[in-house]
Structure 1
Amino acid sequence: MPRKPRPIRPSRPGPSYRLAMLDRDFLMSDSMRGLRLQVEYTKTEEALQAWGVRSTIVVFGGARVREGGAGGHAAWYEEARRFGRIASERGGALREAEGARDNVIATGGGPGIMEAASRGAREAGAPSVGFNIRLPHEQVPNRYTTPELTFQFHYFAIRKFHLAMRANALVVFPGGFGTLDELFELLTLRQTGRMRPTPIVLVDAEYWRRLIHWEAMAEAGVIAPADLDLLHFVANGTEAWAVLEAAGVALEEVAAAPSLPSPEPE
């Protein structure tokens, strides 16, 4: 008798059969990097809009600074804490005008100076934003940022974009390589006109002048003498807020829709 043909068994679906939106291998591939950048930007943007965060005051500073620490650490921590409270009380973060909050404290979300500034905002009863980045060390969200406004980024570029795009001011306390990176990123945007006029304040003038010979760059002709006017040197958090008030970063004079200017002519 002729042998019966074996039934054809359906092949087991491979990775190509997965739904694209659920295929982690595909989403993490090089070709999808652009999409991941977009998703990382959009998730944060929607959360900020939901909380009505229209503008921020960005505070940078060392993650290794500790409350009660040695050297200048204790003073730096307390001044950042004081500044976070003053700016939140007087800048508009407590008031929702037409569903918007202005001058909300925004930091890198981690310990040290970032914690201190967010702590001051919390003590004022105001929200604060934490833009955390995935790092092998020194990057754990501090307990004072508002939970719904505590983010984690994979891409430094998107994190920096969110730090810059709503900033009414940048206040920088003593810090290390990361602090310098963030400072010069925004300083370059200001120098090149790619960011609207935004005061940049360096707290503890003695530290910053000892660390960098700013005038040497102008003397060597690598920057214009007028570029030095982009920087304001102060002794403490109270003086930092006075500079911002003088620059118009105050509750009554907050810009309606702060943003980075378009790189192309309108």
Structure 2
Amino acid sequence: MRRRRATPSRPKDRPSYRLAVLDRDFLLSPAMRGVRLQIECTKADEGLRAWGVRSTVVVFGGSRVREDGPGRQPFWYAEARRFGRIVSERGGALHPVAGIRDNVIATGGGPGIMEAACRGAHEAGAPAIGFNIRLPHEQAPNAYTTPELTFQFHYFAIRKLHLAMRARALVVFPGGFGTLDELFEILTLRQSGRMGKVPILLVDQAYWRGLVNWEALREAGMVGPDDLELAGFADDAEGAWRVLEENGIRVQS
């Protein structure tokens, strides 16, 4: 009886033969986490560079705020929308100099206050940046972020890096857990000297003083005498822009 010849192995069919850059299983493996972090950082960086974005004004606030929502939500939405327009018209994003844009509105890219600020920028004819994060219940980008400046992140750390690294101001409207996380992240960077003298403004003083007992932190010795000066307050969009002007925000030359 004739024996059947063994079928020779075909190396080209094996995962080891795939080009590394095309090997999805390899790229998504734990060993490549550092590379994924770098790629995620660089992709957004190149997209912003292509649009000449040199600096941003970051707007945080609740994703649950609605234009027709209950209580003060319509006021917060309207003022965030107005602020996005004011910054875009007066801060340089609308009129780039030698291809460079300053003080471009940047948000987390989602609904609520983020949508309102991007909407104001869009209505002014200026770009708006959306740094979206991939969540179990996916957060879709709002309709007013500039498509080429709308990014999706897997890693919160890289998203936070991009929100902070070009920021010339941080303006925070009322929000919940996510807003508090982002606010205190920036406050900690300022307090520890890891971030420059970027003005931090909280819109609607009554909301923020009712939410956080700032003086209790100082009385308990948890923060230094000057730490509570790191954040200021504004009552509305015009007031926020006025404070930013007093802190030297302008089109860079």
TM-score, normalization by structure 2: 0.96
Shift of 1:14: 2.4
Shift of 1:138: 6.6
Cα distance in 1, alignment partners of residues 66 and 122 from structure 2: 18
Shift of 1:250: 1.8
Cα distance in 1, alignment partners of residues 162 and 21 from structure 2: 25
State whether structure 2 residue 101 is matched by structure 1 residue 101: yes
Q: Paired residue for 2:225?
A: 225
- SS for the counterpart of 2:57 is strand
Q: Paired residue for 2:71?
A: 71
Q: Paired residue for 2:194?
A: 194
Q: Within 5 A, what are the aligned runs for 1:112-123?
A: 112-123=112-123
Cα distance in 1, alignment partners of residues 180 and 137 from structure 2: 18
Cα distance in 2, alignment partners of residues 151 and 10 from structure 1: 47
Is 1:59–1:105's contact at 8 Å kept on the other side of the alignment?
yes
Cα distance in 2, alignment partners of residues 165 and 49 from structure 1: 13
List structure 1 segments (4+ residues) > 6 angstroms apart after TM superposition.
none
Q: Paired residue for 1:21?
A: 21
Cα RMSD for the two superposed structures: 1.3
Q: Paired residue for 2:39?
A: 39
Q: Within 5 A, what are the aligned runs for 1:46-65?
A: 46-65=46-65
- SS for the counterpart of 1:225 is coil
Q: Paired residue for 2:150?
A: 150
Q: Paired residue for 1:9?
A: 7
Cα distance in 2, alignment partners of residues 239 and 113 from structure 1: 17
Does 209-218 or 132-141 show the bigger shift?
Answer: 132-141
- AA at the equivalent of 1:214: W
Shift of 1:178: 0.3
Q: Paired residue for 2:124?
A: 124
> Kindly, what percent of the aligned residue pairs are identical?
70
Shift of 1:20: 1.3
Aligned length: 251
CA offsets per residue over residues 111-131 of structure 1, 9 Å max, x none?
000000000001111001000
Shift of 1:61: 0.2
Give unmatched runs, 5+ long, in structure 1: 257-266
Shift of 1:139: 1.5
TM-score, normalization by structure 1: 0.91
- AA at the equivalent of 2:100: A
CA offsets per residue over residues 108-153 of structure 1, 9 Å max, x none?
0000000000000011110010000011337210000000000000
Shift of 1:11: 1.5
